[in-house]
Structure 1
Amino acid sequence: MEKQAAIGRRPSRAQVDEIIEFSGEDVLSREWQGAETLAEPVAEGVIQLVRIGFRTFYSQQNQFLQGLKMRESTIMHLAVANRRSLFKDSDDYLVFTLRYPLFDRSRNSFIINSASLLIFPRRIVLIEPNTPSSIFETVIGELTEPAGVPVRRRSLAGIALHLINAVVGVYSSSLEEFGNVLNHFEEEVIGSNGRKVLAMMALVRRQNIFLQQTILPLKEMTFELQHADSTLIDPELYSCLHSVSEHILQIIDSAGMLSQINAGLIDIYSSAQANRMNDIMRLLTIFSVLAIPLTVVSGFYGMNFVHIPGLHRQYGVLWALGAMVVWIIGLIWYFRRKKLF
């Protein structure tokens, strides 16, 4: 009952920052009381997860430096690392900066967010954006639920791995949404307006390149972590990182496949435009051929000669018009027989 009450009082991520403590099967969540509380040592056998927003971190960064005994260079590292995913081993603690894309369906483009992980002995500090929803909410919900995650996975390495996996999972979901947009776009390529299609193709190409540039540093970060020599990295984490690396490689392959799909759409669009132009030219050619009899007959009787056969006959104009009609009908029959239209 004590454990259930502690979990039940867990605040909403949209309202406040929080501190979650894991001790065997017991999970305790309490509100954030300020960076000064981080100076208190974490009890033996307890893993502490501190969730804070970027605003809270940067507004109290001096208190964080003192409470966590961090170097000032770490603050600079976090500020610069927001531009790409990075890993840094600072001996006493590990620093991760994780960039991840969120797909905006209204603009058909990616919005890049970032989160940072600071791993200390028996403590993990998660710094995430100040947004109403969090990509880590599902993972942390599983960690705090009694039947969510086995107790053995609530270790320092296990919690860190779950948080990293949450970031990698965002790439998969964003790629899936991006792929749905491409599938819908494929249906409109042939019949859509040319300028709209070209603009959409250019946007898709830029977003795909942008996505690949975002995930490649994450791959490099995972590679560096696998070869890092730190006492904070549990040997169990090394084996689990292999699966994370494979997941990242699958995402890179999926991004490459979407790039090939986009290139295929460009080929389809070019072929459709060429076929449309061929149809137009064929139609114009047929009209030109049908106009030849009219041009020949009218040109013949328009010559400035006195003696032209049929020029002064009473029904000469009807014979000329009849010859034009018969000639045109014959050409139409010939074109239909050859299935030219």
Structure 2
Amino acid sequence: MPLNKRILAPTAAFAVTFSLVAVPPAPAPRAAANRTTAAVPSFDFSAPQVLATGLQVPWGLTFLPDGSALVSERATARILRLRPGSAPTEVARLSGVRPAGEGGLLGLAVSPSYAQDGYVYAYYTAASDNRVVRFRLAASPQEQVVFSGIPKSTIHNGGRIHFGPDGMLYVGTGDAAQTANAQNPNTPAGKILRMRPDGSPAPGNPTPNSVIYTLGHRNVQGLAWGGGRMYASEFGQNTWDEINHITPGGNYGWPQVEGPGGTPAYRAPIVTWATSEASPSGAAVVGDTLYAAGLRGQRLWLVPLNGSGGTAGSPTAVLTGAYGRLRTVALGPDGWLWVMTSNRDGRGTPASADDRIVRFPPATSRTG
């Protein structure tokens, strides 16, 4: 299966090799190690400021150089612009989106060179696949396909995209409900991808001419960096949700392993939760704490990170049940922590449920 179907240049399939290690069945999951230190919140969660209400399954969140936010709505294919103190306004609607189940308009990212090129990037479910496009803000923007051919399904579409500190575009994908995809080096499903802004394989990837950065993932919906290290959140199946420290070429075990376990060929998560407690989607690192938005868990998890990135302290939760299902968390350019809900996605919540964006001030700004 071709891994890179770009429409920036003539499309060409290329061979990909990725060393996989056969292992026996994994032992029973065990708890992540070194949970000794609790996180100290960097934000005042007792002082929320509601920025927007009445949204329809907001999913992606990114920020423009002027400090305003862009928000994607999964089913409407709308992109909204939001400034604190003002109502959201529609600034684009993407025509290629075909929402179904968990698919639709998902992640957003702003070009690191936005001042020069004006590009916004989006990950969405199209008629035949999941893909990454770029465009300039307009009512009906001209979409340029950067990367296509990511398998789609009604579940496990991944969807988070993020420009890393190296200026490369990282893409979290799901296994598209086909567990074998995660270990198959010839499909971008069940992977973290790393590419240039034009969609071509990034220099220094584990396998030359391949966008695959890591494999063995079930459904990656959170990407974050802190202290020079990369982290990803991942949905488990029935037992363990995960936070993983991402290293180039790492194999994170799915479907042979859910949570910790297996041989050294598989990288163990630094944090696991029961799936009822988390279903972690968006993630952000602020200082030495990783914040993970919980959908089924309906809470915001705070994970203290250690210096090496390989282990974490004891996670603690805030906002439990306060806003329902939490989809996305991000540090805004204003220094506040932004959180988006996902209550109108049909997962046990009424159709009348509200989706909103709330931000929380830095703890140092508290008075009294």
Structure holding more helix per residue? 1
State the TM bucket, normalised to the shorter chain: under 0.3
Higher relative contact order (CA closer than 8 Å, sequence separation 6+): 2
Q: Larger Cα Rg: Structure 1 or Structure 2?
A: 1
Q: Report the TM-score when normalising by structure 2.
A: 0.23
Structure holding more strand per residue? 2
